[in-house]
Amino acid sequence: MCGRFVSTSTSDEIAHYFGAESAPEATIEPSWNVAPTNDVYVVLHDGGTRRVATHHWGLVPFWAKTPAIGNKMINARAEGLAEKSAFRNAFKKRRCIVPVDGFYEWHKVEGQKAKQPYFIARTDGEPLAFAGLWEEWRGPGGDRSESLRSATIITTAPNDLMATIHHRMPVILPPAQWDGWLDPANADIDTLGRLLVPAPSELITLRPVSTEVNNVRNRGAHLVDEVPLVRNREILEA
């Protein structure tokens, strides 16, 4: 799964990188510890234009009675998206990219009570383009006064590097696939499904970081600093 990530770029910077229109009215403070239910930037096609927008992290399907269901839908497994009621409509019509600077994953270490967090980013320092889905919830009975736009991050099986610490990873889309993924008129589910595969191991790097990231109140840049890896109370070379 993907439960925390880093987002420090501005709307303008994201728009420039993804060839989209910025959203100057939507400002999210930089955070090195974005958590579920936070607002996040997404890139999508809306009204025929590729643009940057802000969405609630945790998908709220249009049929939901309350937004609380989104707390359980921060991720969507790539397997079976076209069949699952919570995701199939968004998979066909409302796909997005969630731009991040890196993400965290936790690994169980033998002999340690607390899991070891790792920070994962691109080897070249460029942003990661997570495949995502978005929805618009309009409140009970379609009441637009309670309208909420939300998003989820799609996960898939891990590549060889990620498999050393976790059994899932976010789908990372290369630039050549952005147009096809974002096009709301593209309803070729089979072709879209073939995009939802692990990114090459050589695309990413990972390093152990402090357990301070476990606390959502900690959001500073120091969270991505590498720390010595601890195993069985012994300091090992990371």
Domain total for the chain? 1
| Domain span holding position 129 | 5-236
d(CA 203, CA 49): 29
- 2 is an active site residue: yes
- 105 is an active site residue: yes
Could you tell me how many residues make up the chain?
Answer: 238
Q: What is the CATH number of the domain that holds 57?
A: 3.90.1680.10
pLDDT means over runs of 10, the chain (238 residues): 94 96 84 97 91 96 93 96 94 97 94 91 98 91 76 98 97 98 94 97 98 97 93 46
Instruction: Count the neighbouring beta carbons within 10 Å of the beta carbon of residue 227.
Output: 15
Residue of 217, 188, 201 whose CA lies nearest to 158: 201
Rama region for 207: left / alpha / beta (φ>0; ψ in -120 to 50; rest): beta
State residue 236's pLDDT score.
Answer: 42
d(CA 98, CA 35): 13
pTM of the complete model = 0.93
Q: Which residue among 21, 105, 135, 234 is the active-site one?
A: 105
Q: Which residue among 2, 25, 83, 126 is the active-site one?
A: 2
